[in-house]
Amino acid sequence: MKVDHLMTRRKKPRIPLTARDIKSLFNIHGTKSVSNLSKQTGLSYLQIYNLVQGRVFSVSDRHYRMLFRKPAPPQAALKIDGTFFRAMVDLWLYLNNGVTRTDLYREFFKDEPDPRIDHRIFSGKIKTIDARLEHIMRQKFISAGLDDKLLR
């Protein structure tokens, strides 16, 4: 069915742009004018202007191809399915008596000044999580002596 196909289609991650990318953009199209660049790429003037002014930090895969006339470099997924992460959290809490989900959350987001605990990542109400959270949990098990092959 077409509906099933649309439901399983994954959204491609956005491509971050560097200052070097912006500088090479004008060289690729052979112009120094924002309006000419807009005409050549097919993107709106405002979008190109914001890109040049440094207000846009990433673009979609389609816009990257329009801007640079080549496919985007492969990007790692920023969000992943959280099922395996939640299973690792539950196992960690079972094995480490006295550790709570709140403790883990504060460890995950220790760089934030006042992290408010979002229990939805543990309950499954949020289906996808940051890939780095799963990586942190894997590292916790590996540092505790568990082989990474056993986690798969």
Q: Model-level pTM?
A: 0.55
Q: Residue 52 corresponds to which tokens in the numbers above? A: 């040049």
* Domain harbouring 59, CATH code: 1.10.260
Over 60: is that where the pLDDT of 10 sits?
no
How big is the chain by its Cα radius of gyration, in Å?
21
CA distance readout (Å), 100 to 50, 75, 122 = 44, 33, 11
Q: Residue 33 corresponds to which tokens in the numbers above? A: 């004018």
Q: Which of the pair, 151 or 126, is modelled with greater confidence?
A: 126
Q: Assess if residue 134 is contained within a domain.
A: yes
43 and 92 together in one domain: no
- The range of the structural domain enclosing residue 38 comes to 13-68
141 and 100 together in one domain: yes
CB 56 within 8 A of CB 47: yes
Q: Residue 73 corresponds to which tokens in the numbers above? A: 């470099």
Phi-psi region of 145 (alpha: psi -120 to 50; beta: other; left: phi over 0): left
Number of domains in the chain: 2
Map residue 3 onto helix, strand or coil: helix
Rounded to whole angstroms, the Cα distance separating 119 from 112 reads 16
CB 18 within 8 A of CB 60: no
Amino acid at 113: P
132 and 90 together in one domain: yes
Model confidence over 88-144: pLDDT tens digits? Answer: 999 999 999 999 999 999 888 888 777 688 889 999 998 888 888 999 999 999 998
